[in-house]
Chains A and B, each alone.
Chain A
């Protein structure tokens, strides 16, 4: 099973700051890494697919990068509505297609 390790677990950020969340895979997964945003009491929402591909309707301040084992989600100029927990998800291998443990982003 591929393990995804996210860091940090928690981040408290002021509006307009830049946020960087990392996701490290226990073995190479190419670019089969996706990012989701989950706000309290809501379903997850796909933000970025295949490491860096943007999703229609997602604000351009969200971007992704990386390949192999190390990946990054960047939120440029954080807005209050971005308070949420962010999860990475790999789809490289045989089941299970695992999720990272999540990073909670709080607005100061």
Chain B
């Protein structure tokens, strides 16, 4: 059974750093793209970026390029999303999701449960 299990909720202050995780099981982690999707409170879904764990090929949305870093460790089947300096506007639910196909232009067929990040002074 394919599963994506995300790390728990975080409460941080502006300016702090953060790395959240997404641990995959039930399939060959390196062979499928993993993407990250943001959902701000009461709002819609935003595609942030995606990584291919086999070779760490990463594509970012221009809106998030330079604001976050996506990475993956195929040895432990885990993808990461990190910030070096959080802002209050980063408060949101963040989902990881598996790409269905062999290229990054793919729908997401499995989703993690989400990680709520709250940034407040």
Contact = CB atoms under 8 A, between A and B. Distances in A.
Nearest to B65: A95
A87 B45 CA distance: 8
B59 interface: yes
Interface stretch (B11-19, B80-88, B99-107): B99-107
Interface string A19-40: 0000000000000101010100
A36 B111 CA distance: 11
Contacts of A97: 47, 50, 104-105
A95 B107 contact: no
Contacts of B44: 85, 87, 99-102
A91 interface: yes
Among B49, B59, B111, B113, residue most surrounded by chain A Cβ atoms (within 10 Å): B111
A interface secondary structure, majority: loop
A43 B111 contact: yes
Given A95-B59, A95-B60, A96-B62, A45 B111 contact: yes
B106 A91 contact: yes
B95 interface: yes
Interface string B90-121: 00000101001000111111011110000000
A66 interface: no
A1 B62 contact: yes
Interface of A: 1, 32, 34, 36, 38, 43-46, 49-50, 55, 85, 87, 89, 91-102
Interface of B: 37, 44-47, 49-50, 59-63, 95, 97, 100, 104-109, 111-114
